[in-house]
Chain A
Amino acid sequence: MKSKYLYKTSIALAMAVVWTTGTSAEETLTVVSFGGSYAKACVDGYHKSFEEETGIKIKLEDYNGGLAQVRAQVDAGAVHWDVLDTESAPLMIGCDEGVFEEVSDLELPPAPDGTPAADDFFDGMLFDCGVGTLVYATVMVYNSENVDGEPPSTVKDFFDLEKFPGRRGMRRSPSGNLAWALMADGVPSDRIYEELSTEKGLQRAFRKLDTIKEHVIWWETGAQAPQLLADGEVFMTTAWNGRIFNAQVLENQPFVIIWDGHIRDYGALAIVAGAPNLENAKKFLQHATSTRGMVGVANHISYAPVRHSGLPLVGKHATTGVDMKPHMPTFPANSKNFLWYDIEFWTDREDELIERFNSWLSR
């Protein structure tokens, strides 16, 4: 009898242990993203359905991009983030530096029509340490209230202070600005990086920037650009297309995007090396990078899916009913002249060019 009693209790105990460890390991997942309207779009786009389908509770945190915080966690061996929403350059650098888990063998869901993921994703959107989730664009914008007569329509117009006088807003970073300076100077988009790789081309870009330098207000965070335009501090500004979409549709601002010469980059999800909830994080990546997940985001904010099966499924904005397709950077009418952000060029040269850019700014 005694042994039977012991047997029973030990089973109960074991079950309790399995049950508690099971739930504590399964239950949560910390996802870190950029906050604001984008994070909200992700919550509506795929967080909620993930929680419903798996029972895993998502803890959402905000950060300002970059690698500083995640590197501090990994170096100190005190990782409390699981999934990181990141951009192309930090993804590549972080992967080489070992702050992200390798996910290249992660099995991703096929397209709704059964096309395997490898064929459905755009080329180069599956990385060693992450999976691409969206395409966003850095664009030029003006406020139609301030324009009488012919509106600006090209990159050249942005640099033309005679035809379109007024201050310009630009991001305080060399990446887009050097490329646009060359475009405005007549370099075709497919030769921009070739030109930027030479000292002569760099000087040419800075010389072109010199012509508008005194009229530029430099912004640093994504929210500042639409703010500058709305406050009338600038006549035109560069900005991220999702932010402008929000201002146009949610705040009824009369902003107009110039799609000519926009610069395209992608966002991606990565798993932090040593993530406490590794298995949940993998499930989350599979869920979020499905066609459904990407389209879910695209129906809330104007960031385009990176699967071929995605764009045709994009529909109307979830709350205002605006047709989302024409707002997508990948919409055919918007894709006539654009430039991809060149990861290799920028990860190789960024440190040097930022220093040079800062030096130029302080002169």
Chain B
Amino acid sequence: MDNFGWKVVRGVFVAVVVLGLCFLVLPLLVIVPLSFNAEPYFTFTEGMLRLDGEAYSLRWYRSILENPEWSKAIGNSFIIGVFATLVATVLGTLAALGLNNPRLPFRQAISALLISPMVTPVIIVAVGVFFFYSSMGLAQTHLGLILAHAMLGAPFVVITVTATLAGFDQTLMRAATSLGAGPLTAFTRIQLPLISPGVLTGALFAFIASFDEVVVVLFLGGVDQRTIPRQMWSGIREEISPTILAIATLLIVFAILLLLAVELLQRRNKLSAETSVK
């Protein structure tokens, strides 16, 4: 094939990539302007296309504030998310430290067990959780959802912290102990600060896993445990109003903030990995 032919192939390749990226991100971007629609429609009105100021309004954002169901859902999402994240992060970080220790027996099997909630379809987890937690009286309680979400989030912490530990220089610990520091001191003074970006990344993953989860909430949660995604679910199925789009826009902004936080942590992580090598 001649040079021109390769240019065509290259052009086609670039076009495919651009189209694919558009497919990924455009659907999300479409929601944002629509959430400012002054009319209760899900499509662009003529006024919106003319960029007429009157066609845009904040009414759907106001209706979030005015509706106590949404504020309750937002509260529930954060309460359940924060507590589930705390449990998942503490247990997950400890487990990752254990898994990192070469003397741990059955390492492969244990890591498979600890990660299994992540790869089990959530519908099946929800069924099992529904049967067992109901029989324990945990159905329709915040505690039940916190436990279930912590279980779903823990694998993310295990994975990210394990990955961070892989880049951690163990000689630092030995150096610390040889200088007379106890293992606990060495851990809190040397290891923890260095792996903390990894721990925080894992915590963010665990939080988003809980924040985004809806199937377990559907099966196990009652009216008092409605979270944002649960409220969106009934919003879509029952009375779909552009309020959903306003909430969706807020969630997109929130996701971008979390993503930036993770990026920053990664950068710090890299930095600390580099300093630990030095």
Contact = CB atoms under 8 A, between A and B. Distances in A.
Contacts of A355: none
Contacts of A69: 139-140, 222
28 contacts: A36-B239, A61-B223, A61-B224, A62-B223, A64-B234, A69-B139, A69-B140, A69-B222, A72-B134, A72-B140, A73-B139, A73-B140, A75-B135, A76-B134, A76-B135, A76-B136, A76-B137, A77-B137, A78-B139, A78-B140, A221-B237, A221-B238, A223-B238, A223-B239, A224-B237, A224-B238, A227-B239, A227-B240
Interface of A: 32, 36, 61-64, 69, 72-73, 75-78, 80, 220-224, 227
Contacts of A227: 239-240
Interface string B186-226: 00000000000000000000000000000000000011100
Given A61-B223, A62-B223, A75 B238 contact: no
Contacts of B224: 61
Interface of B: 130, 134-137, 139-140, 222-224, 234, 237-240
Contacts of B237: 220-221, 224
Given A62-B223, A69-B222, A72-B134, A80 B140 contact: yes
Nearest to A68: B219
Ranked 5 nearest A-B pairs via Cβ: A78-B137, A223-B239, A72-B134, A61-B223, A76-B137
Contact of A75 (B134, B222, B239): B134
A75 B132 CA distance: 12
A76 B239 contact: no
B139 A72 contact: yes
A72 B220 CA distance: 9
Contacts of B234: 64
B129 to A, nearest CB: 12
A220 B240 CA distance: 13
Contacts of A222: 238
A210 to B, nearest CB: 27
Contacts of A223: 238-239
Contacts of A75: 134-135
Nearest to B141: A78
Contacts of B238: 36, 221-224
Task: Tell me which of A75, A76, A223 has the highest count of chain B C-beta atoms within 10 A of its own C-beta.
Answer: A76
Contacts of B223: 32, 61-63
A63 B238 CA distance: 12
Contacts of A220: 237
A273 to B, nearest CB: 16
Contacts of B136: 76
B69 to A, nearest CB: 9
B221 to A, nearest CB: 10
A75 B140 CA distance: 13
A221 B236 CA distance: 10
Contacts of B222: 61, 69
